Amino acid sequence: MTIHASHASFPIRGMTCASCVNRVHRALESVEGISGVSVNFATETASVDFDPTTTTPIVLTHAVEDAGYEIPIQSHTINIGGMTCASCVSHLEKALRAIPEVLSASVNLATQSATISTWVGGASQAQLQEAITDAGYTITPQTEGDNAAKDSVSQSQEETTRQLVLQAILSGIAGLLVMLGTMNLLPGFSSLTIGTRHIVLFLITSIVLFWAGHPIYAAAWKAAKHQSVNMNTLIAIGTLSAFGYSTVATFFPSVFDTSGIPLAVYYDTAIIIIALILFGRYLETGAKNQTSSAIHTLMSLRPKTARIRRGEEEVDIPIDMVQSGDILIIRPGEHIPVDGVITEGHSTVNEAMLTGESVPTEKNSGSQVFTGTMNISGSFLFKAAAVGKDTVLAHIVQLVQEAQGSKPPIQRFADYIASIFVPAVLGIATLVFFLWWALGPEPALTYAILTFVAVLIIACPCALGLATPTAIMVGTGRGAEQGILIRHAEALETAHRVDTIVLDKTGTLTQGTPAVTDIIVPQWNEKELLRLAASLERRSEHPLAQAIVEHAKQQGLSLEEPQNFVSIPGQGVTGTIADQAVIIGNTTFMTQTLGMASVESVSSFMKPLAQAGKTPILIAINGQVEGIIGIADTIRPESKEAIQHLMQAGLKVVMLTGDHHQVAEAIAADLGITQFLAEILPDQKAAEIQKLQKNGSRHVAMVGDGINDAPALAQADIGIAIGTGTDVAMDTAQITLMSGDLRGIRKALQLSRATMRIIHQNLFWAFAYNIALIPLAAGILYPVFSRMGGVPSELHWLFGDYGFLQPVMAAAAMALSSVSVVTNSLRLRNISLD
């Protein structure tokens, strides 16, 4: 058998010598289906010839990675026009994956977009777009650019919607007229011969059918040219079958042996089906637009203009002209146009769109402000630090869009069913046609055609295609409104199974910065001791020193400039304040400086501090220890409440910390945590997560904020990063809590459960609808009604005389099925997250 090999070239990182080349060469040669390998050390690339029926680019990538090297990967997002059902998704993904350099292709019906991963330097954007257009679809503009581009896309969408409404209304009116004409109820129609009446109905139907139905027929023809079938194929064949039969019956009645009995025509069936389909698509479009309302709301928060200072003048300019370093002016009630740092003035800013917190944040000189947040009171100047795609708002929008365009694992089964759905329905409809032509009541051909049309029209792959992505779109949008950023749809599916929450202590359960917790003064005045200590420590840059200075400032104390300041790294500081000798340091430094007896006099005060996980700092005045300041990384105010909520929800909560066992035990007891892991080094965190996963916990979520949390976040089933933490942690985690409030963990899990519940409902409805109604349209009730002596009169409008579902009713059911799935997804917008 001849193998038609594909050729692909890709870059490889990490090769340092000739032995690396040999290692990569052997790794690629070992992959089944490889017929040729060439690895070039100078250009750091590899070229392979492979059988695409045996292996795939992703297998080649894994082979290189398993050998210890890396193939850089890039992602492309392309907006697509012309997709109408899940079969379109399957066809388009197949076309994109046929490109040798494509690792993965995920097409989303709800967002009308494709996300494609390729090797860097592999398939270009132009190649990908060519594959899409060759498959019979169109490329639509991206909406990431300037406001003018977004407005253009919005106007185009509005124009399409208006056209859809017009076509639906006019075809509906025409369908009603044709139906009345078919029943001979139009004024003056009864005076015409049957043949003339049918010709008039033919003319009306022809004009309206091919005007209103043109998008459907054009899409079906495009699919046919590319050897594909989709939802439009079913509608086109169904309506044209009814129209074609009626046309032959009008102009060539002798083709059918009717023994002189006038033939019935079904022009009204064809035109009303088109009207109902278009009306359903209009409702579906409106509902789908609402699923992305959260993204639209976020994007609309960015003002179109900004007021900047140029010399002594204030100038309003388009937002896209603002550059980093510009000085901008913000007045009360205005949205902040770009990210920056306040240089003058103070105010309160509503950052709910960013963090989900409704309480305004105080802003002063040096405070950061973010695009889209609203200035409540006060005016201020700020220096632009990030503009355009570099702003936090743009990053949030990008993350949400990527999540909305991704697919959870649960979608794979629906995609598989959709890929075979339309051909299967065509096969069933054809079988049913021949069955009732042979066995049906007279006129058998008429009923066979009507049943054929009903089966084609009632089948609905659209509901299958929309069941998951619409719920993901609404769920991720709802999360963004609450300050919960979800990176991928898979995180929503996994999070609802979490049964164990592991919380890193520092920066997650605590504030992440040291603060004064206790001031112990057996003899001295507390404020005076604090004032002297802070005056000396103001010259030090140590975090503990800064905690003392900050606490004194909060108390409103007036600090003095120290004299004779000396810093001993890792031990303490000495100096003179207002002619008083002040020494500040740890017990070792004080023992060395003042002697053991001086320290022992206050040792009874230090022990409780150490047991509580606090650092005791000794203060000596004029050679005598006069007080102790306790410093600790304080617990976040909401931590205890958040942990109680998680435990009440039946989750096991574990604290992870590098502190000594005794300190960890005290903090865990204060928080109400019964299980903790102490003395864990940063490089051991991932291993501890793995142990929990193996020891009976089905799914573990890790919550952290620092660089050293990144491996553990990646190891966990779900990594949750605190938005106030490092970029590394946020990039590694699947979920980010923008506000840093740990109560967001519970909200994220609630959102996941609600989203998965909606997805399950949608998929059940989509499958149940087709399983129940396709047999109904195929005439399964004919034998039942035959035994009953005929269809009850009250059901004639639905099943006719013999029990065959009316094609028009099939169209109505099909139109409503997609709308019901999208509407069900929209319920997520109103779920309560607390």
End-to-end, the C-alpha distance of the chain in Å comes to 63
Task: Output the 3-class SS for 786-828.
Answer: HHCCCCCHHHHHHHCCCCCCCHHHHHHHHHHHHHHHHHHHHHH
Element (H, E) at 498: none
Q: Which residue has the tokens 């009116």?
A: 173
The strands making up 327-330's β-sheet, listed across from edge to edge, are 313-318, 305-310, 327-330, 380-386, 339-345, 368-369
Q: Where are the alpha helices (DSSP H) in 658-740?
A: 661-671, 685-694, 710-715, 727-732
Instruction: Find tokens 């050390």 and name the residue.
Output: 41
Nearest of 294, 310, 375 to residue 336 by alpha carbon: 375
Cβ count near 252 (within 10 Å): 9
Q: How many residues does the chain have?
A: 834
Query: β-pairing, 624-635 with 313-318?
Result: unpaired
Residue whose token pair is 């899990």: 749
Do 358 and 387 form a contact (C-beta atoms < 8 A)? no
Assign 3-class secondary structure to 136-172.
Answer: CCEEECCCCCCHHHHHHHHHHHHHHHHHHHHHHHHHH
Pairing mode of beta strands 484-486, 500-504: unpaired
Pick the catalytic residue from 504, 709, 717, 741. 504
Helices (H) and strands (E) in the chain, counts: 30, 29
- According to DSSP, residue 634 is labeled E
Please name which of 479, 546, 537, 471 lies closest in space to residue 515, comparing C-alpha atoms.
546
| Amino acid (one-letter) located at 60 | L
Q: Note whether 752 and 492 are within 8 A (CB).
A: yes
For residue 822 the two structure tokens come to 């999208």
**Order of all β-strands in the sheet with 563-568:** 510-520, 624-635, 615-621, 580-585, 572-577, 563-568
Q: String of b and e for 814-834 (b: at least 16 CB within 10 Å)?
A: bbbbbbbbbebbbebeebebe
Query: Which amino acid belongs to residue 814?
Result: M
For residues 704 and 701, give the distance between their C-alpha atoms in angstroms, rounded to a whole number. 10
Nearest Cα residue to 383 out of 451, 336, 327: 327
Instruction: Please work out, in degrees rounded to the nearest 5, the angle formed at the alpha carbon of residue 736 by the alpha carbons of 730 and 741.
Output: 120
> Tokens at residue 370, please?
């973010």
- Whether residue 629 contacts residue 602, with contact meaning beta carbons closer than 8 Å, is answered with no
Q: Please count the CA atoms within 13 angstroms of the CA of 673 that sit on its side-chain side.
A: 29
For helices 267-291 and 461-481, the axis angle rounded to 10 degrees is 20
Report the C-alpha gap between 719 and 709 in whole angstroms: 10
According to DSSP, residue 659 is labeled: S
Pairing of strands 73-81, 113-119: antiparallel
Strands 652-656 and 675-677: parallel
504 part of the active site: yes
Report the candidate in 448, 272, 131 with the shortest Cα–Cα distance to residue 812: 272
CB within 8 Å of 193: residues ≥ 6 apart: none
Whether omega for the bond prior to residue 443 falls within 30 degrees of 0, making it cis, is yes
Q: Look at residues 147, 491, 480, 492 and name the one whose alpha carbon lies nearest to residue 294.
A: 480
How many angstroms separate the CA atoms of 212 and 172, rounded? 10
Query: How far apart are the C-alpha atoms of 583 and 149, rounded to whole Å?
Result: 65
Q: Which residues are annotated as catalytic?
A: 504
